[in-house]
Amino acid sequence: MASIVFVVVLQGSLIACEFLLQNAADVNQRDIRGRGPLHHATYLGHTGQVCLFLKRGANQHGEDADGQDPLSIAVQAANADIVTLLRLARMNEEMRESEGPFGQPGDATYLDIFREFSNMASNNPEKLNRRSVHFSHSCRRGRELASLDLLLLEMSSQPVNENNVN
């Protein structure tokens, strides 16, 4: 099931991502470049998926093989919506840590904003499709790398048939 999550992220399917996560897909799995679903959704500008992965507990601090975490990717892409979601999630995480084990599960403002993004992602996903003009080439390259990563992942998970090797 590992590569399926990356495929649906690449396709931009929020419903398929939700289905996979509800059926035991790991939100923090990594591909061969050290990128998780959150990295890929951020590269591709899929705000609804970023929101979903954060709500499902994705590790936003993890760096890929290039040393980039999702926030640095979003800042480089100048994607204000994703930067906002990632920063709010970090702020909420820090507040929970500072309040200790008896603190509240989430700040009301944080929960409201994530609820609004979730509703918009479900009802009007086109409103969340914003990409920076300056980042379009990098984003296209990110999609190409993501496709290559998926191909390599598929190839590495398939058994080698020694009879067909030249």
Residue-wise pLDDT tens digits, 132-155: 433 344 445 555 555 555 555 554
- The domain of 132 spans 2-164
Local structure of 104: helix, strand or coil: coil
Beta-carbon contacts of 31 under 8 Å, excluding residues fewer than 6 positions away, are 6, 40, 149, 150, 153
Taking the CB of residue 64, how many other CB atoms lie within 10 A of it? 19
CATH number of the domain that 62 lies in? Answer: 1.25.40.20
pTM value is: 0.68
SS3 content of the chain, % helix, strand, coil (to 5): 65, 0, 35
More confident residue, 131 or 96: 96
> How many structural domains compose the chain?
1
Model confidence at 42, in pLDDT bands (50, 70, 90)? very high
